[in-house]
Structure 1
Amino acid sequence: MCHPAWGRARLAAQHLSDLARLRRIRDRIDREYAQPLDVEALARGANVPAGHLSRQFRLAYGTSPYAYLTARRIERATALLRHGGLGVAETRRAVGCPSPGIFRTRFTELVGVSPDVYRHRATGAVAGATPWVPGQATAPADRRDVPVAGPERACT
């Protein structure tokens, strides 16, 4: 009969092995995001069933492998739109998104504006405009909307 600690040690070793496998999969997504990857291809590369991979990846990283891949692609797309001098269609192809509609939808969900608007704002398309950075507060378009603190509103 086996000692109880051996079973716990074996489970711990398996857990570490699973985490190492998931890290390799995540690293592959980070490296090959522009390639035609899907969960089935990632699972085949790791020699595990796709459903098992999805469940374990979500437990370890809080998101599905597909959502992680999509977020990585959109993250890279924002950098290309900001600095790459590429249009939206070229950027979409460069990051491996096959569908313009899916790219536009996911980009808008994750960034908050469409790729066209993001590119326009980020490159400062208006002469002398400051490039836009996501999450940065912007001034109201009409300065009359800003309340002015008069003497009666001064902090005490």
Structure 2
Amino acid sequence: MDREYAEPLDVPALARVALMSAGHFSRSFRAAYGETPYSYLMTRRIERAMALLRRGDMSVTEVCFAVGCTSLGSFSSRFTELVGESPSVYRERDHSDGAAVPACVAKVHTRPVRNGEATPAPPSVA
């Protein structure tokens, strides 16, 4: 799912690859990752969309389809839910303050988090 986030993925297809029933796959996935397979996939798509929107060379519609979403309305709703602002507002905001931050660090701190979820604690340096 992380690698093929832009492909049309569904639980039955993922379950077949994992050699499980769809129900067992969904339960096992949720137990391991704390969210449903669809929610996990959408979070990966929104993460990638954030990176593409920060570049500023693609429209919101182009980004929507580039990350594998087929509905601009659903994409915008989920983006707003996870990021806290619409894709258009996010795209227009100045992102130059994070340009010097390594991508691996930026990914941790810009990961979309659902409302009500705790934000991940930064790694401690001992």
TM range (shorter): 0.7 to 0.9
The answer to whether the aligner puts 1:56 opposite 2:34 as a matched pair is no
How many pairs align?
101
Q: Which amino acid aligns with 2:78?
A: R
8 Å Cα contact 1:77-1:92 kept in structure 2: yes
TM-score (norm 1): 0.60
**CA distance in 1: counterparts of 2:95 and 2:69, whole angstroms:** 22
Aligned equivalent of 2:41, options 42, 64, 69:
69
Change in Cα spacing, 1:37 to 1:84, as seen in structure 2 (3 Å) is farther
Asked if structure 1 preserves the Cα contact closer than 8 Å seen for 2:60 and 2:87, the reply is: yes
Measure the CA separation in 2 of the matches of 1:93 and 1:100. 8
What are the residue-to-residue correspondences of 1:12-31 with 2, within 5 Å? Answer: 29-31=1-3
What displacement does 1:44 show? 1.6
Tell me the distance in 1 between the aligned counterparts of 2:31 and 2:13.
20
CA-atom RMSD, angstroms?
Answer: 2.1
CA contact (8 A) 1:81 1:122 kept: no
Match of 2:86 in 1: 114
Deviation of 1:101 after TM superposition, in Å, equals 1.1
From 91, 101, 105, give the equivalent of 2:77.
Answer: 105
Q: State the 1:123 CA deviation.
A: 5.7
Equivalents in 1 of 2:7, 2:35: separation in Å? 20
* Higher Cα radius of gyration: 1
Runs (4+) off by over 4 Å: none
Q: Name the one with the larger helix percent.
A: 1
Q: Deviations over 1:90-135 (max 9, x none)?
A: 00010000111110110000000010111011468xxxxx68x998
Task: Determine the C-alpha separation between the residues in 2 that align with 1:76 and 1:84.
Answer: 13
Distance 2:49 2:38 in 1: 16
Select which of 56, 61, 67 maps to 1:95: 67
Question: Deviation digits for residues 53-112 of structure 1, max 9, x if unmatched?
Answer: 110011111111110000000000000000151110000010000111110110000000
Deviates more, 1:62-71 or 1:38-47: 38-47
> Is 1:41 paired with 2:36?
no
